[in-house]
Amino acid sequence: MERPESAAPQPPEAPRSPYSTLWMPLVVVPAVIVGVLVLIMVLFGQIAGGPTSIEDSLRVVLDGGKNERTQAAFHLSQKIAENSRAALEGEELPWPLPDDMTARLESAWTTLDEDDASTRFLIASLMAETGDPQGVEHLLELLANPGDDKDNQLRFEVLLKLGAIGDARATAAVAEYANSKDAGLRSLVAIVLQRLGGEPTVPTLRGLLGDPELEVSANAAISLSKLGDPAGATVLLGMLDPEVYRAENEAHRERFRTGRSISESRRAALAALARLGRAEDRARIEAYRDDEDLDFRAAVLAALASWGASGSGS
């Protein structure tokens, strides 16, 4: 796969975290706020039953034992996620919020044990989801002091949540993880930064274009295209070649095991190139008009028809 001429220094080798074997898709986080429910299920798994109102959930989070607080935090976040979906669709909130919601969440944050990082993450996320600016501050506190997080799971979840919220106050702290030894975190940084904006964003993404991991450089190139920056075009052009993914699969058997995953990643790169609409790339795209992947071939024709149009391929 082609690399930009100005490659960034190579990060030191390190074992990949357990979650990073799941392979970070070459798709940038969408603009819509991501509900915390998915993150909670990653941390705790599905928990059945529980309080029937936000008021009850808050009470248990404040006053219950550790296991009870964990379950109550799950149910609380579930209800907040349902409220978020309803708000986006212009519907009435299914779970009314108590008038003192902000104060009670802050109280929960201050009363939780500092080593109960998972529940503190959930509370900080809920604060941010309900519009309390202090929630982002608490998430940044967790990112700076993640405690016993040897597998980087908490760091991963906090970075993902900050990207979903899209608050530029987090840009500098997120950008620091571009130098992480963990490829999964570097890949997530490449995705998250385009949602945050701020001064370090573009230089950091450009630096990640030279990363030795395909998932990192590819996500950086896609993010840059979202920002209208063509610095990753060479990486994107390389991503159109199916052989790149076959080689990646040979090196990492858990990645690109199906034609569908290869097709989706090629189309993500194509969409980014179409978004940039550079005249010098069009001829390269024309060569794929008769590609054996019918879905990719259709995407090529659509991309050529809308080449360089505002928002094309988004």
Query: Considering its fold, how many domains does the chain have in total?
Result: 2
pTM: 0.77
Q: Which of 229, 250, 277 is the last residue of a domain?
A: 229
Q: Residue 51: its pLDDT value, please?
A: 53
Do 184 and 94 reside in the same domain of the chain? yes
Q: Residue 13: its pLDDT value, please?
A: 39
Do 191 and 301 reside in the same domain of the chain? no
Q: Is 135 in contact with 169 (CB distance < 8 Å)? A: no
Do 141 and 263 reside in the same domain of the chain? no
Place of tokens 């987090």: 170
User: For the domain that residue 139 is a member of, what is the CATH number?
Assistant: 1.25.10.10
Q: Which of 229, 255, 284 is the last residue of a domain?
A: 229
Is residue 87 assigned to a domain? yes
Q: Residue 199: its pLDDT value, please?
A: 85
Do 219 and 106 reside in the same domain of the chain? yes
For residue 6, count other CB atoms closer than 10 A to its CB. 10
Do 270 and 152 reside in the same domain of the chain? no
Q: Which of 197, 229, 261 is the last residue of a domain?
A: 229
Residue 132: closest CA among 108, 116, 154: 108
Do 142 and 160 reside in the same domain of the chain? yes
Task: Tell me which residue range forms the domain holding 161.
Answer: 20-229
Q: Residue 35: its pLDDT value, please?
A: 38
Supply angle C-alpha 271, 256, 238, rounded to 5.
Answer: 45
Do 172 and 285 reside in the same domain of the chain? no
Do 223 and 253 reside in the same domain of the chain? no
Q: Give the residue ranges of the chain where pLDDT is below 70.
A: 1-51, 88, 308-314
Q: Is 176 in contact with 200 (CB distance < 8 Å)? A: no
Tokens of 189: 């940084």
Calpha distance 240→233 (Å, rounded): 11
CA-to-CA separations, 268 to 27, 223, 254, 292, in angstroms, rounded: 7, 11, 20, 17
Q: 188-237: per-residue pLDDT in tens?
A: 999 999 889 888 999 999 999 999 999 899 999 999 999 999 999 999 99
For residue 217, count other CB atoms closer than 10 A to its CB. 28
Q: Residue 290: its pLDDT value, please?
A: 94
Do 70 and 142 reside in the same domain of the chain? yes
Do 96 and 146 reside in the same domain of the chain? yes
Do 70 and 126 reside in the same domain of the chain? yes
Place of tokens 């990653």: 42
